[in-house]
Amino acid sequence: MTDCRFLTRFLRRTAPRFAAVLGLVLAAQAVPATTPPPLDGATDAVFTQALDAWLADDEASALPAFSRLAVEGNTAARLLLGVIDKSPALQGPFLAQMPRHQRISLLRLPGGMSGQSWLRATSGIPLADAWVAMLNVRSGPDVVLRFEDLGESRAAREALMVLSARGHPDLAQLDPQSVPQDMLYLLWRRASAARKAEVASFVPADHPQWLMMGETLGEGVLQHWLETSDAAAPLSSLCRSICAPSVGSCVSAAYAALGSHDALMTLGTPAAALVDQTRFVDSARGHASVLRRIMLGTPMRGRRMLLARVSERSECLGNALSSDDLRYRPQIPGVSPVPLNAPEGG
């Protein structure tokens, strides 16, 4: 029964061109289960302690522990390190200031000139396999569905974004109902006129993605969405923490500073199987990942101007970005780094 339900769902969601492949899968009866088993090692006491430390933004304690566990065969540690390794916004100052060879040794499996991703060394685990598939340029929309079936909504959004950036032709055939609702604009962008109308019919009213589809929104609609929607929780949680008296101006400034709706859609937990989205976005590491993603979206030469624009709208967010930026500066004995928001010549 599990196999039949999976096949029915898969066939309904995907393009007709996948029918032949589905036939082969059915013939081989190699359909995976839709409910993955718990990740091995996720309840290990050492892992949970390291995870608590990592969420508290204590990389120096957490990452060496994850690395030791990964070498010992802990699947949860391997998967988490693999996702951190490929996600710059999840890499804090402890990693950023570490010599390259030490960082590779900490995050990757030994082998080759630059080590190997733990994701590739964890084959046979559905979530790790989905990540490896997403990194393969030949993968199609089925990888989005794989993440969705695993309960990894944030990863599904990232996968859809990657496929859109690659211009994958099969997105034109994907059932809009199988796509994360906040991401329908990605299908709309590459659709024919008739297809655009079909995709648009599934877009919720007063959703900011209408702005990416050439439409306008009523006054205050975007602001309300930023302050209340689950998709914008990484911003609203950060702002409640650093700008409690002025959350509204903070979230709007943060959204503008990100520079794209796409960037917001990829913020969040590295793996819901290990740490749910709410716990992650409310954590110190979650907050730091938002600040880092904002700064990484702007080249070094433009960051002083970025902070000036942010500070005009939200002084507390500007201060938080400037303070976070200092954490990533090289530590030079006897030299105090100058904050980006310091007065010129000060």
**Per residue in 134-191, pLDDT tens?**
999 999 999 999 999 999 999 999 999 999 999 999 988 889 998 888 999 999 998 9
Place of tokens 């091995």: 40
Residue 340: predicted pLDDT? 66
Joined tokens for residue 22: 């589905």
Residue 73: predicted pLDDT? 95
DSSP state of 339: P
Whose CA is closest to 225, among 205, 200, 242?
205
Mean of per-residue pLDDT scores for the chain: 87
Domain-located, residue 130? no
* Helix runs in the chain, H state only: 2-13, 19-28, 45-55, 59-72, 75-85, 93-96, 100-107, 126-135, 142-149, 153-166, 184-189, 193-200, 221-228, 233-242, 247-258, 261-265, 277-281, 284-296, 303-313, 315-327
Question: Residue 322 is part of which domain span?
Answer: 218-330
CA distance 44 to 38: 12
CA dihedral 175, 176, 180, 184 (to 10 degrees): 140
**Of 219 and 317, which is predicted with more confidence?**
317
Domain-located, residue 302? yes
Domain-located, residue 57? yes
Residue 25: predicted pLDDT? 36
Q: Is the pLDDT of residue 312 over 60?
A: yes
Domain-located, residue 94? yes
Q: Is 109 helix (H, G, I), strand (E, B) or coil?
A: strand
pLDDT band at 214 (very low <50, low <70, confident <90, very high): very high
Share of the chain above pLDDT 90, in %: 76
Least confident of 8-22, 208-222, 326-340: 8-22
First and final C-alpha spacing in the chain: 70
Domain-located, residue 213? no
Whether residue 118 contacts residue 70, with contact meaning beta carbons closer than 8 Å, is answered with: yes
Residue 234: predicted pLDDT? 98
Whether residue 95 contacts residue 81, with contact meaning beta carbons closer than 8 Å, is answered with: no
Domain-located, residue 38? no
Whether residue 183 contacts residue 160, with contact meaning beta carbons closer than 8 Å, is answered with: yes
Structurally, how many domains does the chain consist of? 2
Domain-located, residue 134? no
Q: Which of 76, 92, 121 is the last residue of a domain?
A: 121
Q: Which of 121, 155, 187 is the last residue of a domain?
A: 121
Domain-located, residue 149? no
Q: Which of 121, 144, 163 is the last residue of a domain?
A: 121
Q: Is the pLDDT of residue 67 over 70?
A: yes
Q: Is the pLDDT of residue 300 over 90?
A: no
